[in-house]
Amino acid sequence: MVTDLNQAMLDHAVTRQGADSRIEWRQADALALPFEDASFDVVCCQFGAMFFPDRVAGYAEARRVLRPGGRFVFNVWDRIEENAFADDVTNAVATVFPHDPPRFLARTPHGYHDVALIREEVSRAGFTDIAIETREKASRASSARDSPLPIARERRCATKSRRATPACFSSLRTARRKRSPAAVAKAR
CATH code of residue 99:
3.40.50.150
Answer yes or no: is 26 within a domain: no
Answer yes or no: is 146 within a domain: yes
CB atoms within 10 A of CB 90: 23
Answer yes or no: is 139 within a domain: yes
pLDDT digits (tens, 9 = 90+) for 104-161: 888 888 999 999 999 999 999 999 999 999 888 776 666 655 555 454 444 555 555 5
Answer yes or no: is 156 within a domain: yes
Answer yes or no: is 14 within a domain: no
Give the pLDDT confidence score for residue 137 in this predicted structure: 79
Answer yes or no: is 10 within a domain: no
Kind and range of the H or E run holding 40 = strand 40-46
3-state secondary structure of 6: coil
Question: Domain span at residue 151?
Answer: 31-186
Mean pLDDT across the chain: 82
Answer yes or no: is 23 within a domain: no
pLDDT digits (tens, 9 = 90+) for 6-60: 999 999 999 999 899 999 999 999 999 999 999 999 999 999 999 999 999 999 9
Name residue 181's beta-bridge partners.
134
Answer yes or no: is 125 within a domain: yes
Cα–Cα distance between 80 and 106 in angstroms, integer?
5
State the first-to-last Cα distance of the chain, in angstroms, to the nearest integer. 22
Give the pLDDT confidence score for residue 106 in this predicted structure: 87
Cα–Cα distance between 142 and 92 in angstroms, integer?
20
